[in-house]
């Protein structure tokens, strides 16, 4: 695995560049990402390019032996460009423009802006496409950051109408598919359809879901426009985009098809603070991040571009953008780095090289402090570089468990939560975490992914299940868990004619006749665990494998396939996954709360996310390459698999 | 009492209609409401009516013996209509349009839309007005749903100016009545007055109250436009509108004057979740609803149209629109049905016949599941039908207690809460609940209602008290309770010259010299109970009937009239109502927490809203028609009054 | 000290005026503020002045012996004026106009409105400038009330561009100062710069800070426009403005330079409810206000206009505008009045004379009730008047402690809190309160203020520290405390090249290498106290004076200067201030929780903010002028300093 960093030569005096490059190499970095926010320097005035500084920056970095990932600058169009076509910005759901002054001030559907992107990317790729120091390209930056996927602009409205015309034979088909008769919402023609905002009450969920699908597709084609140009002019260079954490606004699997490498931006402390974790978890893991946050995304994005993936931005210290921004526990930067390795990353690139003293992110740490002194992150990166060398090269292999992940499921469940505590990512994360607490290796994959070779398959929830998936699940000979609400909707966002779980009833003979969403505090005992939030009423002749105290069944099995009809807690998941693993012939151990393990190739890694030393469960005859059986807080142990 | 359901023939293949009708009859339903969202099918293109399908639907239902309530479709104008006059939609307080894509996308004040309503209603009534299967008409649907009473459109602004010109002799009178001199808010003429939105800080409360009065009057005249057409062309049919729960945006008493029957849409579980109940209550009654929710509205709407009232939409299972949507406890659908009977309903109509698999309400249960199988609601409706037959016909009679309810009071107190926990509906509900826990029957009536014949009168609060009401109260020979803030305002939203309670001082010699709103947690002991939220300082020579520990009096009596100068808790209300009932010669029992009772005609009903069996307080010699003295959860007992 | 009240002759029948004036004098008031909301009566139609009523009102009041403070009416332009130039209103951050219908409906940057203000103020001052009854002028009313300082109108945008052109040599300098290269935010010219609203994510903090500076300067020049006119035409009259509580949107020190007297509007109960106090404090002090609220503002505004200050509006009973509005404990109006005297006020003026029965503030108490009877406030004012006479005249002298207060610091920390619990006013108040609990007298002063003569200096936080201040601090021979984040920013909102605390490192050799913001619940023990919210990592060779359990230092001293690297609790502050006071030779006592003391001239005052009687700490040989050593709730004791 390689290490790298994100660097902004345009932010620093040119006389610092060579020293920076030398220090990067000295620390053990071999890659550097540059350029992605530099449009105003590359093209200070319309059509007047200034390549000189970038030529010199690339030369300086390349001469130091660094491989360069060059970013296209389309996330930050300059002021003169926005002023030349003010309608290029996105429009929010209230109808307000999302204007210039920060970043991502563009609408994915604006044809004029796409032309400009085509122009600037072509110019860049033509200039640097075969430069020997350029090893890869990053398209744009963090698509969707700051809630920028969905726009309600005129450009988006027009795009949506085109998209509908491509996806429905005629407007009658659309009216029928959406059930527009419901409240006299029938459209006379595609031109009459508007985006689903500014309605009196909730719009038709089918309308919303199609708008989300459309918006996601706009990201896909926006990215493809750049990927095609790069592929044409910069042969043999990887095309990469940097995804974000806990972000589902567009289909990362589809965008990934146009990439060579999926990468993501890993900020465990910020994500812990900003997302769905409990106050207890936010307290316990304030300086480490929840032990499954980074791994979850590693395993998710490994499934997006044929298994190749990287961490493009790695938190190196406190960040600036969460509600509260503590510092990582000493050791965590190294831990996160080695954990990425254990999950098969090609690269961990720290964001950023040196903390900028100005502008929006001036409180975001770098490897170097603003006064150019090495910060804690740099020393941990240096140590990680030595560790990586010692561990040698590792190859990704198939994990034990496949966990099915669907972006469309996220959109659908946001559109129709039915109970406000039913959150897609939270359910997926709970199941992922349940598997990981048993020490299982997980691949998070698209529902379309090949499932052969996995010892277990888990679908936390898939409201829309294609027939082809059901057929493939039916052919598997391994334990499969299907979570609540799976198969509850048709592709048109309707209830299946035979009710949920729809065609899945071919594999397991049960029917969901009624669902309940439950307010916090309403729970029910289920064996050793508890259910809450969501409960389905099941009509079946099967005997329940697990039931509630009132006799109602919530877990049913047919062959190797189980259907879970409620929202489970950790204890219940442990039971279920333990049973499945036993059937699959996998040996599992319940790990201590703060410990996580991963096997890759012939190495076993263990990571201590706690603030207390952890003794590894069993220690006999281990050949430790790093650490020992007693793992200090924020420390790592690695040994040869026995 | 009759049973019925809400049915949407336009949602289903025509070959299902006859079977549906037959099953309705089989279950015991005799009425069916149709048509209220079908405009896009009745008039698919401007001026081109398609009556054929509706003719056949009416014929099919009528042939099965069902009585039809036909809804005017004005709650959902079709897209072509909205596109032909885009300014017909309401404008929200921020100035944004409330556009097409769901329902109720119109401004009550838009003259062009009123013309269109007149046209479509005339066309429908002319076609079906004397059809023998049509037994009643419903105007529009749920006026005000989704916060649609108040609009800030140009049409509304113009309407408001007209309304002001009709209600004030000249603009000087308006300036004086509102006290516009206060912040130089004086208007040179009526044309200069705008709606009270987008002001820098709170607008003049008198301005707001008049805007609320105007907006309510717009609903009245909008409804009257339709009622007049129906009355002219469909003789002897009832005109009905379906009101909502906990909704006070327009004056239901005034709208009721143009109706033959007031109806309402009863969703006890959704209302529990969405309104002011405590977390404990939301937990305890999650699957039953608070025991006073349905009864409160029954007793309220019985007072809106000369005593005739129905439940037009009855929750038959889980709904889709609350934050959390659990399923009713088995038995609750029957319980709610029989409770409506006990309060004197003419009809309970379940919403809806069959759960729709598509569009916004696909997660809203029906009597039938989407797969056309009978759901729990259907079997409970069937049982209820049998019960109703056994119980026979019942006539409404006057209740023991009159509780005075004023929509204007709600507007006024929302406009000027003075303490954010002072909520009109919550105070009224607390007093209603206090009476009901003592087993008293209550009529909730307008302040203008005839009060003779009641054994007790309770006015939870009436900030504006007309002289005529005070005179009528003074003439009563029964215990009367007047709650805090009563008489505290003139009709112009000013403080009376002699302070609160204004002219009421003629009946009870006391003066409110100061009021306090109290943050949660600040309470004071008052005999066996406690006050919180609101405390008035009383200047009087009367000796207090109840006082605080600091000696301050909070309950004063003069003759049979009591004035309560604070926000009471349940224990204090029990004391006060117990004392009043004793004076009135009414015998009361404190009911178990989850039990409610009602007498109607010669029957006594008891309803168990709890999850534990309740033993009736006294059981000797009762002649049970339904149930017994031990009432299971969600069960009902009925016996002949001894 | 004088007493007065706020009076609105235009609200009352002319035949009440003389009686009102006589009663004011009878109660002991000698001043009266009038006129500030009366524009629509002074100029009912464009250009047509009606001075007659105001002439008579001034004559009536003056004839009674009252000194009049005449307000310019520019906070409430009349409807005809707004209709004549609708773009004069402010625009909110969402782009919506903040229209007519309440007050303060103007944008400070609108040139047309400034012209109108110039016209009306000139007309008023020319008419009354040398009237013998006029003793002072109040400009406008409560600048910034209802969040009206910052506007995003076109007028503001143009003003901002002009301001930038005046403050930066050219646009390149601006781009460089702000670090606009960061996200390609570089501007081609000043005309391209927009206000920092409606951006996709947070705008550049330097952009925001300059916008706040600009907006503050607009208030300064708006006020100066009026002050210049008054000064020219009304010789020897004081120019006053009435500031608000806990309000930092504009630089009160700068506005104060154009005033003769700073005044403020003191509503202790409303402020307690609306601001950052804990639930416990809001409960404990619900009817008294936190014991430091009034004193904090007295000591703050005394520092704004050369030491001359007044209370222009004093809460006389319950107010109408807080979430909850309880009544003051009997005695509090007198206590607040005498406390203002103890802090050196020239005037306490009660708001308002008589409670208005109409419009927005009808629930705001006055000295008189709406029925013209004296309310509690009047009787307490009468008692206070007697007390003041007994105590005689007092002169302000320098306090023991200088606490440095910076409006710019507030803007900066709001722009970049870094952790959402880091609130400027809360930190300043905590330090102020810590000093006051030790019985120390405090002057709150601008960073530019002369510091010689103080025994201690405390800077709670000054992110931007000018070299001149550092030089002056270095020259002091007294204990100085510098709080966290001080010196952490340059004037351009960048991190100093040598890191925080920047140039302050010349005085104390330490460097902040990293900062952490901590979520609620994350704390660390520090000697007898605790830190939370904010923790800095300090690089230094100094030995910490106070440290955490993990060995990290948080308090360092060099000479008499201490740097505090965390957010302290009350116990830790007590330690630190106690140590500093000892070094300064000040004797301190830890006061009982609800007691506060102040010395002025040769008098000592003690105020009991609790609901229990307090025994004064030491009582020997005191010569009590008011009260005794046992102070009842809401009571006051005054004695000759020993
Ligand atoms: Zn981002
Ligand atoms: Zn509704
Ligand atoms: Zn104010």
Instruction: Look at residue A438 and tell me whether its pLDDT is greater than 80.
Output: yes
Task: State the Cα angle at B252 between B249 and B253, rounded to 5°.
Answer: 140
Residue C503 is among the residues annotated as catalytic for this protein? no
Instruction: Look at residue C620 and tell me whether its pLDDT is greater than 70.
Output: no
For residue C413, cis peptide bond before it (omega within 30 degrees of 0): no
A198 contacts on B by Cβ (under 8 Å): 96-99, 101
Nearest to C112 by CA among C135, C93, C86: C86
Pick the residue from chain B with its C-alpha nearest to A511: B371
Pick the residue from chain C with its C-alpha nearest to A94: C94
- Tell me which DSSP letter residue A374 carries: B
- Tell me which DSSP letter residue C241 carries: E
Q: How many CB pairs under 8 A join A and C?
A: 170
The predicted pLDDT at position A414 comes to 98
Count of CA atoms in the C-beta half-sphere (13 A) of C85: 17
Residue A619 pLDDT grade (very low, low, confident, very high; cuts 50, 70, 90): low
The predicted pLDDT at position B237 comes to 98
A146 contacts on C by Cβ (under 8 Å): 200-201
User: Tens digit of pLDDT for each residue in A291-311?
Assistant: 999 999 999 999 999 999 999
A92 close to B (CB below 8 A):
no
Nearest to B603 by CA among B391, B340, B292, B437: B391
| Helix extents (H) in C64-130 | 79-84, 111-128
Closest ligand to C271 CA? 3
Residue C619 pLDDT grade (very low, low, confident, very high; cuts 50, 70, 90): low
A192 contacts on B by Cβ (under 8 Å): 79-80, 83
The predicted pLDDT at position A355 comes to 98
User: Tens digit of pLDDT for each residue in C510-534?
Assistant: 999 999 999 999 999 998 899 999 9
Distance (angstroms) between ligand 2 centre and the Cα of B40 equals 20
The predicted pLDDT at position C617 comes to 73
User: Spelled out in words, what is the top-level CATH class assigned to the domain C2-85+121-147+238-391?
Assistant: alpha beta
The predicted pLDDT at position A209 comes to 98
What is chain C's mean pLDDT, rounded? 97
User: Spelled out in words, what is the top-level CATH class assigned to the domain A2-143+235-391?
Assistant: alpha beta
Contact C99 B199 (CB under 8 A): yes
Residues A231 and A223: beta-carbon distance below 8 Å:
no
The predicted pLDDT at position A620 comes to 67
Residues above pLDDT 90, as percent of chain C: 97
What is chain B's mean pLDDT, rounded? 97
- Residue C559: CB atoms within 10 A of its CB come to 12
Residue B589 pLDDT grade (very low, low, confident, very high; cuts 50, 70, 90): confident
Compute the distance between CA of residue C599 and CA of residue B205 in angstroms, rounded to an integer: 45
User: Tens digit of pLDDT for each residue in A102-131?
Assistant: 999 999 999 999 999 999 999 999 999 999
Ligand-binding annotation for B107, yes or no, is yes
User: Which candidate in C67, C313, C380, C574 is catalytic?
Assistant: C313
Distance (angstroms) between ligand 2 centre and the Cα of B142 equals 6
What is the residue-wise DSSP string for A75-106?
TS--HHHHHH-GGGS-B-TTS-B-BSSSS--S
**Of A79, A286, A318, Cβ closest to residue C522:** A286
List all residues 6 or more positions away from A239 whose beta carbon is below 8 Å from its beta carbon: A136, A137, A139, A227, A230, A231, A258, A259, A260, A261
Both ends of chain C: CA-CA distance in Å?
23
Arithmetic mean of pLDDT, A68-78: 98
Arithmetic mean of pLDDT, B391-400: 92
B519 close to C (CB below 8 A):
yes
Mutate to test the interface with B, among A182, A491, A539, A548 (most CBs of B within 10 A): A182
Residues above pLDDT 90, as percent of chain B: 97
Which residues of C381-528 form beta strands (DSSP E)? Answer: 401-404, 442-445, 456-459, 480-482, 510-517, 523-526
Distance (angstroms) between ligand 2 centre and the Cα of B268 equals 13
**Of A77, A80, A94, Cβ closest to residue C188:** A80
Arithmetic mean of pLDDT, B170-175: 98
C282 contacts on B by Cβ (under 8 Å): 519
Bridging pattern class, strands C134-138 and C67-71: parallel
Pick the residue from chain C with its C-alpha nearest to A377: C514
Arithmetic mean of pLDDT, C117-137: 98
Pick the residue from chain A with its C-alpha nearest to B284: A522
Contact A515 B77 (CB under 8 A): no
Pick the residue from chain B with its C-alpha nearest to C7: B182
Matching CATH number, C595-640, of 2.60.40.1180, 2.60.120.470, 1.10.3720.10, 3.40.50.720: 2.60.40.1180
Q: Which helix (H) or strand (E) holds B382?
A: helix B376-391
Distance (angstroms) between ligand 3 centre and the Cα of C142 equals 6
Residue B272 pLDDT grade (very low, low, confident, very high; cuts 50, 70, 90): very high
Both ends of chain A: CA-CA distance in Å?
23
- Tell me which DSSP letter residue A600 carries: E
Count of CA atoms in the C-beta half-sphere (13 A) of A254: 19
Compute the distance between CA of residue C483 and CA of residue C429 in angstroms, rounded to an integer: 13
Six token digits for residue A109 = 């559907």
Mutate to test the interface with B, among A161, A179, A184, A567 (most CBs of B within 10 A): A184
Q: Which part of chain B has CATH 2.60.40.1180?
A: 596-640
Q: Which residues of C are annotated as a binding site?
A: 103, 107, 141, 321
Arithmetic mean of pLDDT, B339-364: 98
Distances (CA, A) of B516 to A255, B38, C318, C330: 61, 51, 7, 14
User: Tens digit of pLDDT for each residue in C180-231?
Assistant: 999 999 999 999 999 999 999 999 999 999 999 999 999 999 999 999 999 9
Arithmetic mean of pLDDT, C456-470: 98
Surface-to-core class of residue B264, CB atoms within 10 Å of its CB (0-12 exposed, 13-18 middle, 19+ buried): buried
Six token digits for residue B233 = 């062309």
Residues C90 and C148: beta-carbon distance below 8 Å:
yes
Pick the residue from chain A with its C-alpha nearest to B365: A514
User: Interhelix angle for C407-415 vs C424-437, to 10°?
Assistant: 130
**Of B40, B286, B375, Cβ closest to residue A184:** B40
Cα dihedral sign, C143-C148-C150-C156: negative
CA distance C76 to chain B (A): 6
Distances (CA, A) of A571 to A289, A543, A575, B180: 22, 21, 6, 65
Closest ligand to B145 CA? 2
Distance (angstroms) between ligand 2 centre and the Cα of B318 equals 15
Residue C102 pLDDT grade (very low, low, confident, very high; cuts 50, 70, 90): very high
Bridging pattern class, strands C546-547 and C480-482: unpaired
Residues C395 and C435: beta-carbon distance below 8 Å:
no
Residues above pLDDT 70, as percent of chain C: 99
Count of CA atoms in the C-beta half-sphere (13 A) of A187: 25
Contact B201 C273 (CB under 8 A): no
Distance (angstroms) between ligand 2 centre and the Cα of B145 equals 5
Compute the distance between CA of residue C357 and CA of residue A357 in angstroms, rounded to an integer: 57
The predicted pLDDT at position B43 comes to 98
Arithmetic mean of pLDDT, C253-266: 98
Nearest to C444 by CA among C491, C388, C402: C402
Q: Which part of chain A has CATH 3.40.50.880?
A: 401-584
**Of C200, C204, C519, Cβ closest to residue A104:** C200
The predicted pLDDT at position C370 comes to 98
The predicted pLDDT at position C445 comes to 98
Arithmetic mean of pLDDT, B512-523: 98
Residue C641 pLDDT grade (very low, low, confident, very high; cuts 50, 70, 90): confident
Token pair 């299982």 is at which residue?
A440
Compute the distance between CA of residue A96 and CA of residue C200 in angstroms, rounded to an integer: 11
User: Which candidate in A67, A142, A346, A408 is catalytic?
Assistant: A142
Residues above pLDDT 70, as percent of chain B: 99
Q: Which part of chain A has CATH 2.60.40.1180?
A: 597-640
Residue A621 pLDDT grade (very low, low, confident, very high; cuts 50, 70, 90): confident
Count of CA atoms in the C-beta half-sphere (13 A) of A20: 32
B372 close to A (CB below 8 A):
no
Q: Which part of chain B has CATH 3.20.20.80?
A: 1-238
Instruction: Look at residue A437 and tell me whether its pLDDT is greater than 80.
Output: yes
**Of B180, B185, B200, Cβ closest to residue C104:** B200
The 3-state DSSP class for residue C524 equals: strand
B97 close to C (CB below 8 A):
no
Arithmetic mean of pLDDT, B556-576: 97
Task: State the Cα angle at C233 between C230 and C235, rounded to 5°.
Answer: 85
Contact C95 A94 (CB under 8 A): no
Bridging pattern class, strands B546-547 and B553-558: antiparallel
Q: Which fold would CATH assign to domain B1-238?
A: TIM Barrel (3.20.20)
User: Tens digit of pLDDT for each residue in B310-336?
Assistant: 999 999 999 999 999 999 999 999 999
B116 alpha carbon, distance to own chain's centre:
28
A206 contacts on B by Cβ (under 8 Å): 358-359
Residue C621 pLDDT grade (very low, low, confident, very high; cuts 50, 70, 90): confident
Arithmetic mean of pLDDT, A505-528: 97
ipTM over cut 0.90? yes
Residue C336 pLDDT grade (very low, low, confident, very high; cuts 50, 70, 90): very high
B86 close to A (CB below 8 A):
no
Q: What share of chain A is helix, strand, coil (3-state, %, to 5)?
A: 35, 20, 45
Distance (angstroms) between ligand 2 centre and the Cα of B244 equals 7
The predicted pLDDT at position A633 comes to 98
Window B:32-71, CB contacts with A under 8 Å:
37-41, 44-45
Q: Which CATH superfamily is domain B596-640 in?
A: Golgi alpha-mannosidase II (2.60.40.1180)
What CATH architecture is A597-640?
A: Sandwich (2.60)
Active-site residue set of B:
142, 313
Matching CATH number, A401-584, of 3.30.56.10, 3.40.50.880, 3.60.70.12, 3.30.360.10: 3.40.50.880
Identify any residues that bridge with C242 across adjacent strands, giving them in sequence order: C263
B: neighbours with 3+ CB pairs under 8 Å? A, C
Contacts 24+ apart (CB under 8 A), B485-488: B485/B413, B485/B422, B485/B461, B485/B515, B485/B534, B485/B536, B486/B459, B486/B461, B486/B462, B486/B563, B487/B462, B487/B463, B488/B463, B488/B512, B488/B515
A: neighbours with 3+ CB pairs under 8 Å? B, C
Nearest to C485 by CA among C427, C569, C407: C427
Task: Provide the residues around ligand 3 (an ion) whose CB is within 5 A.
Answer: C 142, 145
Compute the distance between CA of residue A553 and CA of residue A572 in angstroms, rounded to an integer: 13
Contact A37 C537 (CB under 8 A): no
Instruction: Look at residue C469 and tell me whether its pLDDT is greater than 70.
Output: yes
């Amino acid at each position: 695995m390689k290490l790298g960093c994100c660097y902004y030569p345009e932010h620093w005096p040119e006389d610092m560049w060579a020293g920076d490059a030398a220090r990067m190499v000295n620390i053990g970095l071999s890659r550097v990402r540059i350029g992605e926010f530099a449009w105003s320097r590359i093209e200070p005035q319309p059509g007047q390019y200034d390549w000189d500084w970038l030529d010199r920056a690339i030369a300086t970095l390349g001469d130091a032996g660094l491989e360069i990932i060059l970013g296209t600058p389309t996330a930050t169009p300059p002021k003169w460009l926005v002023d030349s076509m003010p309608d290029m910005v996105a429009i929010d759901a209230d109808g307000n423009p999302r204007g210039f002054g920060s970043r991502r001030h563009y609408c994915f559907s604006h044809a004029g802006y796409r032309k400009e992107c085509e122009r600037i990317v072509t110019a860049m790729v033509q200039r640097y496409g075969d430069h020997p120091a350029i090893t890869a390209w990053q398209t744009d930056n963090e698509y969707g950051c700051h809630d920028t996927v969905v726009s309600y602009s005129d450009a988006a409205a027009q795009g949506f109408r085109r998209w509908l015309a491509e996806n429905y034979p005629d407007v009658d088909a659309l009216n029928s598919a959406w059930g527009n008769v419901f409240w006299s919402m029938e459209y006379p023609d595609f031109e009459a359809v508007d985006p689903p905002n500014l309605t009196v009450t909730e719009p038709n969920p089918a309308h919303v879901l199609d708008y989300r699908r459309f918006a996601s597709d706009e990201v896909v084609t926006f990215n493809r426009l750049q990927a095609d140009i790069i592929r044409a002019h910069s042969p043999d260079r990887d095309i990469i985009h940097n995804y974000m954490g806990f972000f589902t606004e567009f289909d990362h699997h589809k965008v990934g098809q146009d990439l060579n490498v999926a990468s993501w931006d890993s900020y465990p402390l910020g994500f812990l603070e900003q997302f769905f974790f409990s106050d207890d978890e936010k307290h316990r893991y304030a300086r480490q991040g929840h032990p499954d946050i980074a791994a979850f995304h590693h395993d998710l994005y490994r499934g997006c571009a044929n298994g190749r993936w990287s961490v493009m931005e790695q938190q190196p210290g406190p960040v600036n953008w969460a509600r509260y921004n503590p510092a990582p526990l000493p050791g965590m930067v190294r831990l996160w780095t080695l954990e990425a390795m254990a999950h098969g990353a090609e690269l961990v690139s720290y964001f950023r090289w040196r903390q900028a003293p100005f502008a929006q992110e001036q409180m975001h740490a770098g490897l170097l402090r603003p006064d150019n002194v090495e910060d804690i992150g740099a020393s941990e990166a240096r140590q990680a570089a030595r560790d990586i060398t010692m561990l040698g090269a590792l190859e990704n292999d198939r994990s034990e468990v496949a966990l099915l992940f669907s972006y469309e499921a996220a959109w659908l469940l946001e559109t129709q939560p039915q109970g406000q505590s039913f959150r897609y990512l939270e359910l997926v994360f709970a199941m992922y975490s349940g598997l990981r607490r048993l020490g299982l290796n997980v691949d998070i994959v698209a529902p379309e992914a090949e499932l052969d070779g996995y010892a277990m398959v888990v679908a936390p929830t898939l409201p829309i299940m294609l027939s082809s998936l059901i057929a493939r699940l039916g052919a598997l000979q391994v334990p499969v868990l299907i979570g609540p609400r799976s198969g509850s909707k048709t592709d048109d966002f309707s209830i299946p004619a035979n009710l949920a779980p729809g065609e899945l009833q071919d594999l397991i003979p049960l029917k969901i006749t009624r669902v309940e969403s439950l307010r916090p505090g309403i729970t029910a005992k289920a064996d050793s665990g508890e259910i809450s939030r969501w409960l389905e009423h099941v009509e079946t002749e099967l005997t329940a494998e697990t039931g509630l105290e009132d006799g109602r069944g919530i877990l049913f099995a047919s062959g190797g396939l189980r259907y879970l009809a409620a929202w489970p807690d950790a204890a219940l998941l442990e039971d279920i996954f333990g049973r499945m693993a036993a059937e699959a012939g996998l040996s599992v151990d319940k790990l201590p709360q703060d410990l996580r393990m991963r096997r890759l190739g012939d190495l076993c890694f263990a990571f201590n996310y706690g603030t207390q030393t952890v003794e590894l469960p069993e220690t006999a005859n281990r050949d430790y390459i790093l650490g020992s059986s007693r793992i200090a807080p924020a420390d790592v142990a690695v040994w040869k698999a026995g």
